[in-house]
Structure 1
C-alpha cells in the first residue's frame, strides 16, 4: 500500500483535515508540506505536527514533485483558480466546500478534469458516520419504499466576531452565506439519501448580521422521486442543531442533532411494522463502525487512488449541491419556481449573487 504525500493549503480548516483525515491513517498518508499566508499559523501548525516544509507560496507547492495530493482549504473565492492550477500540473486535488461560486465555475473545473492526470475529490465529510450510512444501506436495499416527505434544518449561530475575518460575509470572497458555507453539508446529505431535485421555490435574506450574503433561507423542493422536502436554515439560532427527518413508505429516519456531526449515530430508524424491522435487522445486523467525517472520506479516497474502490465524492456531486444553491438564489430573486437542471441559459449560471436585503 503506497503512502500518499499531502500538501495542505490553508491551515485553518486544514488543521481538521490533518487531525481527522490524515493522522488516523499513517499507513496511507503523510502530510509533507503546509502552505498559508499567515506565517505565525504556519509555524504553529508545522511545529504541532512536525511538518518540515512550510511555505507562503502556492506555486512552491505545485512545483514540489514529491507532493501527490494538494488539499485546498483556502477561502472559497480562490478555490477555482487553485483547483485548476493543481490539476494542470498533474496533482490529485482535494478541495473544501464550496468547490466554487457558480455553475459556470464548476463546469470549468469539469473541463479541466478531462485533461488532468490527477483526480479531484470535493469535500462532503458529513456523508460519513454510522447513522447516515445505515440509512443509505436501508434505502439502497429497497426497504424504505416510496419517499414521501422530508425536512432539513440547519440552525446554527454566527456572531459579528465570526464575520470579523475579512473574507467572510462577502460575495466576492465567501461566495455566499448560510446556503453555501453552512447548510450545504446538510443539503448534500439530503441529495445523497433522496436523490436529485426537480423543482425549487426559495427565499433568502440577511437578518442576523450586517453582512452582504444571506444568513437566513428557506426552500420548498419537489424531488425527482416525487417527495416534498422543506429546507430551513439560519445563523441566528441560540441552540445550534442540524437535523434531517425523512419519511418513506416503510421507514422514517431522523438524524442526530449535533450541528457539526449529524452523520454519526444515534439516528432514529423507525420501521412501519415488525416485518420491516426484520428486513432492516437483516441488512445492518453485521454493521461495522464507520468513523465520521474526514476520517472515512480520506480513507475512501486512498482506496480509490489504490484501485480498491469508487471515488467517494465527485465533481458531479458538488455540482448537484451547488445547482440547488443556484436554484434557491434564482427563485428568491424572481419570485418564481425554478425547474432543474440548470444550464448556461440561467441568469444565475455565471454569477449567482442574490438580493438579500
Structure 2
C-alpha cells in the first residue's frame, strides 16, 4: 500500500509511553517506517523530544502537522480524553492510526472512531500488544482448530501496584480524563487477550471499589463471566498489590495453559499441562520450538505495517478493538448496578454506553472524595 517506500509516521504526544515503547519499536522497523514529525501541546517538550529522537519536524498543532507532513500512520500517545478527537482528525486526513489504550472514554466515542474509518481504510488500531507475541499466536492457532478441546474455565488477573503519587497526576483516576481505573487502564491488556482467545462473553457479574487510593474511579474490580461458548472465567484488576503480576490461565478439556508475567512475555512464560488422557507426543507438538516473538509494541507495529502494506484491517481495529472496551463497560455496569449484565443490553439507549460510570449515584465524580478517608 505504501508503494515500496517507507511508511511516513508521526507521533502525537511526547511523554513516557512515546519514548519508552513507541520510538524503540519504530527504530527497530526503520527499514519500513520513518518518523517524520512529532506533535505535543507543550512546545518545549516536543522540541526536546525531536532533538533527542532525531525527528525533523515538531508541532504544537495537530491539524497543521497533518497538513504539512502528510503522514501515512500516526501514533497517538496522549492521555485518554484526547484520543477520540485526535484519532478522528487523523483518519479524516487520510492517515492510519495506532492509538494507545484505552482507546477512548466510552463505547459511544469508540463507535464514532469506527464511523470515521473508510471501508478500505484508513483504520485506527488500538495498542493491545499482548495479542502479537508468538506465545499468544501459538495458543490462538491451537484454539482455532480445537487442538486443546473445549474451553471450560479461565482466570484473568492483573495485580499491579500504583502509589498515590501516580494518581496525583491531574488527569489520572478521573472519569472525565482517564475514563476509568485499573479495569480500563491496566487490566485491559490481559482482558483483551482473554477475549481474543475465548471469544464473545454473554454475561458478567462484578464488583468494584475504592479501597485505598484517593481517586474518582475504582482502584480494584473483580468479576465472574460466562462466555457465549459456555466457558466461565474470573477476572481481577488491582493497583493495590505490592507483588505485581499478570496471570492468565485457560483450562480446556485436554490441557491447562498458563501465562505468568508482568508487562510482557516470551515463549518461556507459557506453561502447558496436558490432561492425563493426552498422549505425550500430542502434548509435545503443542510447544514444538518455533521463532520466538516477545509481546511488545514492536510485535504489534510489525503486524500493523504488514496490514498497511496489504491494505487490510488490523486485528485491533473496528470490532477487534471494541471487544475489550465493551467488556469493561459491562463490568462497570454490573459493579455499579449490582446486577448481572449481558452484552445485548449495551446499546446507545444505555447510559453506560455513553459514560463508563453510567452516572450512577455514589460513583459520580463529586462523591468520589468521600469514599476514601
Shared fold (TM-score, shorter chain, > 0.5): yes
In 2, Cα distance between equivalents of 1:292 and 1:133: 10
Note the 1:275-354 alignment, pairs <5 A: 275-282=278-285, 284-285=287-288, 287-307=290-310, 311-341=314-344, 342-353=346-357
Note the 1:73-88 alignment, pairs <5 A: 73-88=77-92
5+ unaligned residues in a row in structure 1: which ranges? Answer: none
Identify the residue that residue 222 of structure 2 maps to in structure 1: 218
In 1, Cα distance between equivalents of 2:219 and 2:118: 36
5+ unaligned residues in a row in structure 2: which ranges? Answer: 364-370
In 1, Cα distance between equivalents of 2:320 and 2:119: 19
Deviation at 1:73, TM superposition (A): 0.9
SS at match of 2:117: helix
Identify the residue that residue 368 of structure 2 maps to in structure 1: none
Judge conservation of contact 2:120–2:311 (CA < 8 Å) in 1: no
Identify the residue that residue 197 of structure 1 maps to in structure 2: 201
Identify the residue that residue 60 of structure 2 maps to in structure 1: 56
In 2, Cα distance between equivalents of 1:305 and 1:249: 38
Over aligned residue pairs, what C-alpha RMSD do you find? Answer: 2.0
Deviation at 1:134, TM superposition (A): 2.3
The alignment's TM-score, normalised by the length of structure 1, stands at: 0.94
Post-superposition CA distance 1:12-68 (Å, at most 9, x none): 212234344211111111111111123343233222221121112112222134311
Aligned length: 356
Kindly indicate whether residue 198 of structure 2 is the aligned counterpart of residue 188 of structure 1: no
- Name whichever of 293-302 and 36-45 sits farther off: 36-45
Judge conservation of contact 1:220–1:229 (CA < 8 Å) in 2: yes
In 2, Cα distance between equivalents of 1:139 and 1:277: 19
Which residue, 241, 248, 251 being the options, matches 2:252?
248
Note the 1:109-120 alignment, pairs <5 A: 109-114=113-118, 117-120=121-124
In 2, Cα distance between equivalents of 1:82 and 1:261: 27
In 1, Cα distance between equivalents of 2:289 and 2:118: 39
CA 332–50 in structure 1, closer or farther in 2 if over 3 Å, else same: same
Deviation at 1:114, TM superposition (A): 3.8
Note the 1:54-133 alignment, pairs <5 A: 54-114=58-118, 117-133=121-137
Judge conservation of contact 1:219–1:328 (CA < 8 Å) in 2: yes
